[in-house]
Amino acid sequence: MGELEAAGELVTGALLGRAMEPRAGESGEHGDTICLNCGTALIGPHCHRCGQSGHVHRTLSGMGHDILHGVFHFDGKLWHTLPLLAWRPGELTRRYIEGERARFVSPVALFLFSIFAMFAVFSWAGISAPTDLEANLNTPAAVQQAIKTAQEDRAELIETRDARAKDDSRRRRDDQRILQIDQRLKALDALSKQTGPRIGVSTQKTMTGWAVLDHGIEKWQKNPSLMLYKLQSSIYKFSWLLIPLSLPFVWLLFFWKRQYRLYDHAIFITYSIAFMSLLFIAITIAGTLGAPEWTIVLASLGIPVVHLFRQMKQAYQLRWFSALLRTIVLMVFIAIIVTIFLILLVVMGMF
């Protein structure tokens, strides 16, 4: 199922990115003499009045072509964008800001594609939140509650499984989950017969006096694995928050330079995040294929810093010392931004 989920995430990200990508500068077939949308006579591949393409299709193969086109092609812009993003990211940022848009994939489209592709690769590689964390099982009452919860989950899964067809792949997946719950019930039953404290995830109850917050803390206590899974799922859904969260910090690095606007900083941030996502994709694939651990560690720690330095120096046309100093400060800011981002996700999950 991981491979299917990965493919679905990849296609979703590509289509979302394609939907956000301006079509300026792209070639297209000229199939009619008048626009089928507004009736204007065509003088090119697109209507100069409403912008609709002169070529339209009404076939399933045409729809399939649109999907493949969105996933694999990006009309050649991707192959102009990726080399610059990897080696001369600041030049790409500056050229896009200055108005050279038709040649390159827009930062928003590339951001969407890279984020979904990253989590698709994570799913394919089996990187996910741990599912074996236990709630507080230090007391007999907690163990009995865990047994009751597991039994309820088992009964619900059996009901769901029996409603599926016998050849349904989801039925086989339900069987596997039921088997896992049975194994957990055996372990819990053995634990209930033991004496002494059980070492697990610390979930000491905290009463803040705020009912909503206390309820959220209780959710983490009862099922930390589920909450971690929700947190992981939320990361890519709300990853766009990294852009507005980063904006004031990058602005602080240049607030006295009036020639740089918030839009310029937003483009810088978005292209940078897109590159980091693509880098994590490459590192994950390399690790899965058996690359030496030291190369994975070196690439994970070194390439982001070097890339940020190069993008900073080229995009803002800085001297190397000024770019290096701002890169060091930005690395501190990134730690703060990621912390704020994770806190926001945890709070949303608790509520």
3-state secondary structure of 38: coil
What 8-state DSSP symbol labels residue 53?
B
Q: What is the mean pLDDT of residues 103-116?
A: 86
Contacts of 228 (CB under 8 A, 6+ apart): 129, 130, 133
Q: Cα separation of 331 and 253, whole Å?
A: 12
> Considering the entire predicted model, what is its pTM?
0.67
Residue 35 sits at φ, ψ, to 5 deg, of -70, 125
Nearest C-alpha neighbor of 75 from the set 106, 48, 50, 33: 106
For residue 263, the model assigns a pLDDT of: 93
pLDDT at residue 141 tops 80: no
User: Which value, in Å, is the radius of gyration of the alpha carbons in the chain?
Assistant: 26
**Interatomic CA distance for residues 265 and 253, integer angstroms:** 10
Let me know: does 147 contact 51? Beta carbons within 8 Å.
no
Say how far apart CA 213 and CA 192 lie, in whole Å: 30
Residue 34 pairs with which residues in a beta bridge?
41
Average pLDDT over the chain, rounded to whole? 77
Confidence (pLDDT) at 203: 44
Using one digit for the tens of pLDDT, what is the confidence trace for 2-47? 455 555 555 555 555 655 566 555 555 545 578 878 888 888 777 8
Q: What is the pLDDT of residue 129?
A: 58
Give the whole-number percent of the chain exceeding pLDDT 70: 66
What is the tens place of the pLDDT at every residue in 303-345? 999 999 999 999 999 999 999 999 999 999 999 999 999 888 8
Q: How far apart, in whole angstroms, are the C-alpha atoms of residue 190 and residue 143? A: 10
- Highest-confidence range of 12-16, 161-165, 217-221, 290-294, by mean pLDDT? 290-294
**Secondary structure (DSSP) of 104-123:** S--HHHHHHHHHHHHHHHHH
The yes-or-no verdict on residue 72 having pLDDT over 70 is no
